[in-house]
């Protein structure tokens, strides 16, 4: 899934998701005063090509719906961004500053998140150990 999404793309994904059914350009156009019909049509097509929306032909138009719910989409985008960062950092020594920076950012934002991170790490290690013991 290519990305990241621009501001208009994000708004379009949200507008389509709020419909709770496949929607056409005309269905979401009211949420975008001042944005041309053709701009929305191009944006929907781009989001389809990026894998964020699926579409089906309805008469002469396409109806779009999100491939994933918003939380799942955000999780996939975050995971891809982390993979890209880790891929860019060559070797264990290069990853360490990245992890340190991440932990510092989490700590500054919310100490509870740091506790969550520690809990998640413990659960992941326990799962890996169980898998290795099998």
- Give the pLDDT score at 75: 80
- Give the pLDDT score at 90: 67
- Residue range(s) defining the domain that contains residue 56: 7-66
Model pTM? 0.61
Q: State yes or no: pLDDT of 3 exceeds 60.
A: no
**CB under 8 Å to 30, separation ≥6 — which residues?**
none
Considering the chain, what is the average pLDDT of its residues?
A: 86
Q: State yes or no: pLDDT of 2 exceeds 80.
A: no
pLDDT digits (tens, 9 = 90+) for 47-80: 999 888 999 999 999 999 998 877 777 787 777 7
pLDDT digits (tens, 9 = 90+) for 82-92: 777 777 666 66
Are 35 and 74 part of one and the same domain?
A: no
Is residue 60 in a domain?
yes
Are 45 and 26 part of one and the same domain?
A: yes
Q: State yes or no: pLDDT of 95 exceeds 70.
A: yes
**CB under 8 Å to 64, separation ≥6 — which residues?**
16, 22, 23, 24, 44, 47, 48, 53, 54, 55
Query: Domain containing 43 — which CATH number?
Result: 1.10.10.10
Are 60 and 48 part of one and the same domain?
A: yes
Percentage with pLDDT > 90 across the chain: 42
């Amino acid at each position: 899934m290519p990305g990241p999404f621009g501001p208009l793309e994000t708004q379009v994904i949200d507008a389509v998701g709020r419909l709770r059914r496949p929607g056409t350009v005309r269905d979401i156009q009211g949420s975008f005063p001042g944005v041309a019909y053709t701009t929305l049509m191009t944006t929907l097509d781009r989001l389809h090509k990026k894998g964020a929306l699926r579409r089906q032909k309805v008469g002469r138009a396409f109806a779009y719906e999100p491939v994933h719910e918003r939380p799942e989409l955000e999780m996939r985008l975050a995971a891809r961004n982390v993979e890209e960062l880790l891929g860019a950092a060559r070797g264990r020594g290069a990853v360490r500053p990245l992890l340190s920076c991440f932990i510092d950012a989490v700590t500054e934002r919310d100490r509870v998140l740091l506790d969550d991170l520690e809990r998640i790490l413990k659960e992941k290690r326990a799962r890996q150990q169980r898998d290795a013991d099998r």
